[in-house]
C-alpha cells in the first residue's frame, strides 16, 4: 500500500511541475530590442538573445539564385505584415538552406522598417511550439520567423503532430505575425522506413501514408536544393576569394577540385571549408 502511495505522490508531483512550468512560461516577458535573433531554451522555458548571428551575405550564395528570389520575396511580404507562406527548404546537404534563411533575415533587418525577429528552435524541442506561440502572440507589433534547422522525424517520434497543429494554429489559428521556416534533407520529413512501418501495421495503409505525408503539405513553399555542378562549385570559390581578398592563383581551381574530390562531393559547405583552409595558409581572417 505504501508503495502505491509513493507512486501516486510521484505522479502528482510531475503533474504539478508541468502545470507550474506552463504558468511560468505564460508569464514570460521578453525584451525584443536586445537582439534581432533569439534561441529557444526548452530546459529554462525562455528565449536567449543572439547578438551575432552566424550568417554570410546573400551575394555569396551561388548556384541557388531562384531559391533566393522565392524565399526573399516571401519574407519581404511577411515583414510588411502581408500574407506569406511557411517554407520548407529541402534537399542536398551543404547547399545553403540554413544560410539562405539567416542571410535573408540579416538583409531585411537592415532594410525593413518593421521589427523582424528570427527564433531558432531545436528539432527535439518542437513539442514546445504551442508554448512558444502562446508567448509571442502577445507581441503583435513584432513579426517572427520561427526557424528549425535539419528537421526530420524518426520511428516512434510523435512530436510531428505538435508541428502540424502549430503550422495551422489549431482552434485559435496561427498568429498572423508568425511564420515557420524549416530545413531538411528529406522532402517529406519522415524516413522512408518510418512511413513503410506505419503502412504495414495500419488497418488502412493509404490513410497512414496520408497522415505522414500531410505534414509537408502544411508548408506552402517547398524549395528544393540540389547538388551543384563543378562550374557552380568553382563560381562559389571565386566569389569567396573576391569577398575576402584571397589571392586567386593559377592553381586555385585545381586545388579546389582536388579538395572536393577528397570529400566525395561538391557543395557550398565544401567550398567554404576549402576557402577556410586557403585563408589560413595565407594568414587571412574571414571576417
Please give the grid coordinates belonging to residue 228: 551543384
Q: Which of 53-67, 132-146, 153-167, 168-182 has the lowest mean pLDDT?
A: 153-167
Task: Label residues 229-254 b or e (16+ Cβ within 10 Å = b).
Answer: eeebbbebbbbbbeebebeeeeebee
Judged on CB neighbours under 10 Å (0-12, 13-18, 19+), 126 is: buried
**Which is it for strands 46-50 and 87-91: parallel, antiparallel or unpaired?**
unpaired
Q: Tell me what the mean pLDDT of segment 13-34 comes to.
A: 63
CA distance 101 to 55: 9
**Nearest Cα residue to 92 out of 217, 214, 209, 264:** 264
Residue 209: the pLDDT is 54
* Structure confidence by residue, pLDDT tens digits, 70-124: 999 999 999 999 999 999 999 999 999 999 999 999 999 998 888 899 999 998 8
Please give the grid coordinates belonging to residue 34: 536586445
Tell me which of 16 and 161 has the higher pLDDT: 161
Angle at 224 between CA 78 and CA 266, to 5 degrees: 125
**Residues 67/215/130/72 CA torsion (nearest 10 deg):** 10
**Nearest Cα residue to 91 out of 181, 186, 229:** 186
Residue 80: the pLDDT is 93
Residue 64: the pLDDT is 95
Q: What are phi and psi of 53, to 5 degrees?
A: -80, 135
* Structure confidence by residue, pLDDT tens digits, 181-218: 999 987 777 655 555 555 455 444 555 556 556 677 78
The pLDDT-based confidence of 174 (bands split at 50, 70, 90) is confident
| Residue pair 218/167 in contact by the 8 Å Cβ criterion | yes
Query: What percent of the chain stands above pLDDT 70?
Result: 78
Host H or E run for residue 259: helix 252-263
Amino acid at each position: 500500500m505504501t508503495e502505491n502511495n509513493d507512486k501516486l505522490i510521484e505522479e502528482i508531483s510531475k503533474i504539478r511541475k508541468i502545470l507550474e512550468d506552463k504558468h511560468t512560461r505564460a508569464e514570460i516577458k521578453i525584451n525584443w530590442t536586445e537582439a534581432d535573433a533569439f534561441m529557444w531554451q526548452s530546459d529554462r522555458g525562455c528565449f536567449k538573445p543572439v547578438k551575432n548571428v552566424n550568417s554570410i551575405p546573400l551575394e555569396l550564395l551561388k548556384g541557388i539564385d531562384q531559391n533566393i528570389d522565392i524565399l526573399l520575396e516571401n519574407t519581404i511580404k511577411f515583414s510588411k505584415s502581408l500574407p506569406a507562406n511557411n517554407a520548407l527548404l529541402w534537399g542536398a546537404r551543404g547547399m545553403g538552406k540554413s544560410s539562405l534563411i539567416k542571410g535573408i533575415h540579416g538583409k531585411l533587418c537592415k532594410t525593413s522598417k518593421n521589427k523582424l525577429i528570427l527564433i531558432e528552435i531545436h528539432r527535439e524541442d518542437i513539442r514546445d511550439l504551442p508554448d512558444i506561440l502562446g508567448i509571442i502572440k502577445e507581441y503583435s507589433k513584432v513579426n517572427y520567423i520561427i526557424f528549425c534547422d535539419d528537421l526530420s522525424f524518426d520511428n516512434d517520434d510523435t512530436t510531428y503532430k505538435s508541428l502540424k497543429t502549430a503550422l495551422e494554429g489549431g482552434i485559435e489559428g496561427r498568429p498572423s505575425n508568425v511564420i515557420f521556416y524549416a530545413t531538411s534533407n528529406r522532402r517529406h520529413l519522415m524516413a522512408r522506413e518510418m512511413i513503410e512501418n506505419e503502412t504495414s501495421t495500419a488497418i488502412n495503409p493509404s490513410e497512414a501514408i496520408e497522415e505522414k505525408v500531410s505534414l509537408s503539405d502544411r508548408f506552402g513553399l517547398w524549395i528544393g536544393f540540389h547538388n551543384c555542378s563543378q562550374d557552380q562549385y568553382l563560381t562559389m570559390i571565386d566569389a569567396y576569394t573576391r569577398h575576402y581578398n584571397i589571392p586567386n592563383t593559377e592553381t586555385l581551381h585545381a586545388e579546389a577540385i582536388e579538395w572536393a574530390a577528397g570529400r566525395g562531393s561538391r557543395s557550398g559547405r565544401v567550398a567554404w571549408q576549402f576557402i577556410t583552409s586557403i585563408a589560413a595558409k595565407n594568414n587571412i581572417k574571414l571576417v
